[in-house]
Amino acid sequence: MDYKELIEKLDQARMPHHVGIIMDGNGRWAKAHNRPRLFGHRAGAKATRTAVELAVEIKLEVLTLYAFSTENWSRPKKEVDGLLKLVKEKLYDEMPVLHNNNVSVHRIGSNMNLSDEYLNEIDSSMSTTHNNSGLRLNIAFNYGGRLEVIDGIKKLYAKAELNPELIQELTPENFGDYLYTAGLPDPDFIIRTSGESRMSNFLLWQSAYSEILISPLYWPDFDKVAFLSALLDYQNRKRRFGGVKAK
């Protein structure tokens, strides 16, 4: 099927403002093809480019991609080193194209375990796009949802030393101002590939009322047709946010 046929079926009035994707299955895809895991991660990088291309084409506002979790450090050193190298390499390769397409690229996540040199290189690369006004692309890199909440609490208390009233004024709504995603809408829709039915520490606070779709496809096989099919599924849902369906 031509993916453009599916674009025509999208209801622009019901598009999600923010989509998060847990890009899972690179290793199993590689195993299924009798290739090493890093080969799967490189194939996954191509799928990432495809997803971003579509997000730009359909004028999605925010796309957050789970690229590397705080738990991924427990993987074999060779794989971790290869992933870190791949992330930096692909950022350098893709940044001119992203910039030309008005995409604003940002990293969300922790600085722990990463060298200052590495962080400066990738953050400097992304900073060239920060004034762009199109798609906001978040790379959740060295990211963990629980750690994000802890970092948010620390940030709140640091500010409360100067303004103690911030503690009393804290609400579920304004706590988001202390998270990595401050200023952004919560994800309306989260997609996870590879058939696994868990959140894996991804946007835990922000996803309280996100719609979730589990795709059986491994991430390298998640193409534009699959992405659009997921969005059409989202548009067929009735979101109630804890309430009841209106009569």
Which CATH number characterizes residue 123's domain? 3.40.1180.10
Burial class (CB within 10 angstroms; exposed 0-12, middle 13-18, buried 19+) of 200: middle
Residue 166 lies in a domain: no
Q: Is 191 helix (H, G, I), strand (E, B) or coil?
A: strand
Residue 57 lies in a domain: yes
Are 120 and 140 in contact by the 8 Å Cβ rule? The answer is no
H-helix or E-strand containing 7? helix 3-7
Catalytic residue, chosen from 11, 72, 120, 186, is 72
Q: Is 115 helix (H, G, I), strand (E, B) or coil?
A: coil
Residue 162 lies in a domain: no
Question: What integer best gives the mean pLDDT of the chain?
Answer: 95
**How far apart, in whole angstroms, are the C-alpha atoms of residue 36 and residue 128?**
34
Residue 65 lies in a domain: yes
Residue 245 lies in a domain: no
Is 24 a catalytic site residue? yes
Which strands sit side by side in the sheet containing 18-22, from one edge to the other?
104-108, 136-143, 62-69, 18-22, 189-192, 211-214
Structural domain range at position 110: 15-143+186-235
Count how many domains the chain has.
1
Closest CA to 48 of 117, 103, 114: 103
Is 151 a catalytic site residue? no
Report the pLDDT value the prediction gives residue 140, as an integer from 0 to 100: 98
Are 48 and 93 in contact by the 8 Å Cβ rule? The answer is no
Report the pLDDT value the prediction gives residue 247, as an integer from 0 to 100: 44
Residue 51 lies in a domain: yes
Averaged pLDDT in 10-residue chunks for the chain of 247 residues: 94 97 97 96 97 98 97 95 94 95 98 96 96 98 98 97 96 97 98 97 98 98 98 92 61
Residue type at 143? Y
**How far apart, in whole angstroms, are the C-alpha atoms of residue 121 and residue 58?**
30
Residue 62 lies in a domain: yes
Look at strands 211-214 and 62-69 and give their pairing: unpaired
At 179, give phi and psi (nearest 5°): -95, 170
Report the pLDDT value the prediction gives residue 244, as an integer from 0 to 100: 60
Catalytic residue, chosen from 11, 24, 116, 163, is 24
pTM here? 0.95
Report the pLDDT value the prediction gives residue 243, as an integer from 0 to 100: 67
Report the pLDDT value the prediction gives residue 33, as an integer from 0 to 100: 97
For 117-145, how does the pLDDT look when each residue is reduced to its tens digit (9 = 90+)?
999 999 999 999 999 999 999 999 999 99
Residue 213 lies in a domain: yes
Report the pLDDT value the prediction gives residue 239, as an integer from 0 to 100: 82
